[in-house]
Structure 1
Amino acid sequence: MPRATLKLKSNEALIALSKSHPDVRFEVRSAWPTDGKLRVLVETSAIELPSLTETIAEIPELTAVELRHATERSILFEANTPIPDPHGAMAESGIVPSFPLRLEDGWLIGDLTASKNQLPAFRDELEAAGIAYELVQVSATTDARDLLTDRQREVVELAIEHGYYESPRSCTVTDLASILKVHKSVVSRILHRAEARIVTSYWSSC
């Protein structure tokens, strides 16, 4: 499945917190729905507790705030926020966010794992709700090892170990064939088929 890095302004309470301290980076360590709200676990290490407490008190959408941990190096707290539209859209579409999410200068930034059909549908939901977003990057996340037979995986791993895919190459097909005690045409055929599977899977998932 493709993995997308997305920037969006989806949670007004967290956006207000971030905008109050634009030079401070917050991390949303986790989030879960509870009693019609979204409970978030937030950590920061670049702000003093009195300043953070004052800011939170000025944001009415942040409720049931609970300090979990506070030292000179970091502050960890929980709070309730209204459930933003994208959270419901992600839950319905099966899109999985990867925590922690970064909160920087009014933007919530994180990675999402979605199928090539789910991602466009999620973007449509954001646009329909009028939510500002930026799609920063999309990359494939298929594990190539799951695509290969045991023999193909064995030969590819051997090729990697001996520098066959380095530039310049540290070994040749003939070298690999000698290690495996087979004809070089056998190694060449196995590598070709393995590489074809990996490339085809990557292309189809983008």
Structure 2
Amino acid sequence: MKHIRITVRPDLDRAPPFLRYLLDEEAHDEARAVDWNRGDSELSTHIYAIAGDGARFAELARETPGVKSVELSAAAARVSYALIELRDEELPIFGGSATAIDRSGLVVRRPLVYRDGRIHGHIVGDPTTLQSTVDNLPESVSVHIDAIQPFPSADVNPTTTLSDRQQEALQVAVELGYYDTPREATHADIADEMGCAPNTASDHLQRGEAKLVRAGLMAFNSSL
């Protein structure tokens, strides 16, 4: 089982206006395909999160042939959500892609992130099956495989980068209330529980925290 990072570049000339909006980095702060579902062979439903002008996105979607319905919520909030129902046959950039990835051996992890005119995502499964899937995508979509790693990988589960003692120190710190407000434990308390010196416990904590923060920032930056 592999964790595969991919970048998808739709052909903007063939993309509907609302998809071009999602791919326009100047139109919003962030956009994600939160989830989707193919209810039957003709229709699919998609939910998008837009940190920007959700009303404009909804307007473009309603004007698009092949979009059956659009429902917008939290339009006045920083992040709004749009639920769209599509006729796949009229929007082959969606229907063809859905047909290609709708096969056993692959799981597309949600969400997909729209950034720099591309769609960034993660897939878990068999690389051979993924390559076959890529070969069957419509011409309006190109896919680049960025990385193939064992699953779970640090990109999926950052705790896999922690040493045993770092993980133990963090777990003990949580259990003793070190991260509570107000703080209920000290490095000395953690050291007593671990059977080591306070300086050693502090070192394990700092190194473990640094790894988790770096992984968190990397995940955050990759989702923008």
TM normalised by structure 1 equals 0.59
* Cross-structure match for 2:120: 109
Among 49, 54, 62, the alignment partner of 1:57 is: 62
1:47 aligns with 2:57: no
Q: Which residue of 1 aligns with 2:221?
A: none
- Is 1:134 the equivalent of 2:144? yes
Compute the RMSD of aligned alpha carbons: 3.1
1:63-111 deviation per Cα after TM superposition (whole angstroms, max 9, x unaligned)? 3101233333111110023242222222224310111111235432211
Larger Rg: 1
Retained in 2: the 8 A contact 1:18–1:103? yes
Superposed structure 1 runs of 4+ greater than 3 Å apart: 10-14, 156-162
User: Identity percentage over the alignment?
Assistant: 16
* CA offset digits 1:140-194 (Å, max 9, x no partner): 1148xxxxxxxxxxxx8469869xxxxxxxxxxxxxxxx9xxxxxxxxxxxxxxx
Q: Is the 8 A contact 1:3 1:141 kept in 2?
A: yes
Q: Which runs of 5+ in 2 are unaligned?
A: 89-93, 154-162, 170-194, 196-224
Mapped partners of 2:66, 2:132: distance in 1? 28
Counterpart Cα distance in 2 of 1:54 and 1:123: 31
Q: Is the 8 A contact 2:5 2:121 kept in 1?
A: yes
**In 1, distance between residues paired with 2:127 and 2:22?**
31
TM-score by length of 2: 0.55
**Which structure is higher in RCO with an 8 Å CA cutoff and minimum separation 6?**
1
Number of positions where the alignment pairs a residue of Structure 1 with one of Structure 2: 148
1:201 aligned partner: none
Task: Name the residue aligned to 1:16.
Answer: 20
Structure 1 regions of 5+ residues with no counterpart? 144-155, 163-178, 180-206
Equivalent runs, 1:1-206 vs 2, <5 Å: 1-8=1-8, 9=10, 12-13=15-16, 15-19=19-23, 21-23=24-26, 24=28, 25-35=30-40, 36-47=42-53, 49=55, 51-81=56-86, 82=88, 83-126=94-137, 129-130=138-139, 131-142=141-152, 157=164
Displacement of 1:28 in angstroms is 0.8
